[in-house]
Amino acid sequence: MGYRLTRRNLFSAGAGAAAVGLAGCATTTSATASAAAEARGAFPPEPKEASLFGPEPGLALLSRNENPYGPAPSALKMIEAAARKGAYYTNEEATKTLAGMIAERHGVSPEQIVITTGSGEALSALALIYGPKGPIVAPRLFWDTTALYAAKLGLAEITRIPLTEDMNMDLPAMEAAITPETGMVQLCNPNNPTGIAMPGSVIRAAASSMAAKTTVVVDEAYIELVDDEASMTCIPLIKEGKDVIVTRTFSKIYGMAGIRVGYTISSAETAAKIRYTQMSWTPCTSIAAAIGCYNDEAFIAGSKSKIVEAREMITTTLDTLGLPYLKSQTNFVYFQSGMPANDLQKAMAAEQISIRGQYMDYTPWSRVSTGKLEDVERFCKALPRMVNA
């Protein structure tokens, strides 16, 4: 992140905390005291938005699959209103309101929705629930942070199934790897870092068959970005009573990665287990933001069109250079530059352009995220120089 802890800001933060502590004990005119303390410079300086949050000035941040076009104004308005009530724990009614809105769109009951602090929390909770039962069967390459979280605690093992030659999840091989001991299967559609979206009919047929043998989790973090979301989602399987859990997030299409809201859709029984396993209470500001923008169709359409435009800028550049890439339906592209991924990452970093480095042993494959159009343009101008150097 942009924030660097220096001696100077560490010291001033400490001084500020001390001042706040003292203010709490004061019995006299606290307003005068705090004004005096402020005059002495006892409080931390106003956060400098540019360096504390978001990318450092001048950095083209294209490495983390964020969507710089959020949060929507409809979300920001709600955040402000909720922040004013930040003294209070989040009302259950607020969480239920958001769950109700999500349930209504997907034609399920609100009890089937669990609101989480980013979908990462949901996936971590699932790894904790199912990991101890047995291995998590997953594609070799997927967003594995949450499965690794349970694995690092000794609570899960991951059975990674090689991708097909065209870098797809090998669904038949994954199904063949299921045993009575399997904890759960984790699918990711579209997958990260490949960006490949599997057709709904294919993934649903496979997930349905696997769910007869074990619990199937489908991470749909990027699904709102695909060409035809309705045809691709695995949510219909949940309505058919299959042992399937879908996770989604406000971090991508809604551009709220730092706000932290995600959710699961599952059976009501599974939802109860997830709620029980959750570790955090989603802040009222986050719930408010999600309520504000969930049905903001104008924002969603605008956000998607910017992402698609940026993605096309990237693929046009790759086409011009004759570089191979996977067909992405997400806000990132997995491509080969002809250079090892870490070398390209370093060369880009020297020009203040941040892209992803190597995944596992996939040395030739680089991942670049769509970001602000002007930042993507910088990447597109820099790439030909680097690959032709």
Ligand X SMILES: Cc1ncc(COP(=O)(O)O)c(C=O)c1O
Q: How far apart (Å, rounded) are the C-alpha atoms in residues 179 and 176?
A: 8
Decide whether 63 or 90 has the Cβ nearer to ligand X. Answer: 63
* Contact flag: residue 233 with ligand X (CB under 6 A): no
Choices 70-78, 113-121, 129-137, 313-321 (CB under 6 A): range interacting with ligand X: 113-121
Decide whether 19 or 141 has the Cβ nearer to ligand X. Answer: 141
Decide whether 221 or 347 has the Cβ nearer to ligand X. Answer: 221
Q: How far apart (Å, rounded) are the C-alpha atoms in residues 382 and 366?
A: 14
Q: Omega into 236 within 30° of 0, i.e. cis?
A: no
Minimum distance from CB of 245 to ligand X (Å)? 13
Minimum distance from CB of 319 to ligand X (Å)? 25
Choices 91-99, 115-123, 301-309, 354-362 (CB under 6 A): range interacting with ligand X: 115-123
Decide whether 19 or 335 has the Cβ nearer to ligand X. Answer: 335
Minimum distance from CB of 388 to ligand X (Å)? 31
* Contact flag: residue 192 with ligand X (CB under 6 A): yes
| x/- map, 258-277, ligand X, by CB under 6 A | ----x---------------
Minimum distance from CB of 90 to ligand X (Å)? 18
* Contact flag: residue 249 with ligand X (CB under 6 A): yes
First-to-last C-alpha distance (Å) of the chain: 30
Q: Residue 56, CB half-sphere, CA atoms under 13 Å: how many?
A: 9
Decide whether 219 or 229 has the Cβ nearer to ligand X. Answer: 219
- Token reading at 112: 């089937």
Choices 31-39, 233-241, 249-257, 273-281 (CB under 6 A): range interacting with ligand X: 249-257
* Contact flag: residue 251 with ligand X (CB under 6 A): yes
Q: How far apart (Å, rounded) are the C-alpha atoms in residues 372 and 357?
A: 20
* Contact flag: residue 188 with ligand X (CB under 6 A): yes
Residues in the chain, total:
389
Q: Omega into 364 within 30° of 0, i.e. cis?
A: no
- Strand pairing of 216-219 and 244-249? parallel
Q: Tell me how far CA of residue 362 lies from CA of 150, 192, 260, 338, in angstroms.
A: 24, 13, 30, 12
Minimum distance from CB of 256 to ligand X (Å)? 8
Q: How far apart (Å, rounded) are the C-alpha atoms in residues 242 and 226?
A: 24
Pick the closest to residue 127 from 238, 239, 264, 261 (CA basis): 264
| x/- map, 116-155, ligand X, by CB under 6 A | --xxx----------------------x------------
- Token reading at 361: 């042993």
Minimum distance from CB of 221 to ligand X (Å)? 4
Decide whether 219 or 224 has the Cβ nearer to ligand X. Answer: 219
* Contact flag: residue 331 with ligand X (CB under 6 A): no
* Contact flag: residue 70 with ligand X (CB under 6 A): no
Measured N-to-C along each axis, helices 145-152 and 118-130 cross at an angle, to the nearest 10 degrees, of: 40
Place of tokens 């496979």: 206
* Contact flag: residue 62 with ligand X (CB under 6 A): no
DSSP state for residue 25 in the 8-state scheme: H
Q: Tell me how far CA of residue 304 lies from CA of 151, 190, 329, in angstroms.
A: 35, 15, 11
Where on the chain is the footprint of ligand X (CB under 6 A)?
Answer: 65, 118-120, 143, 188, 192, 219, 221, 249, 251, 257, 262
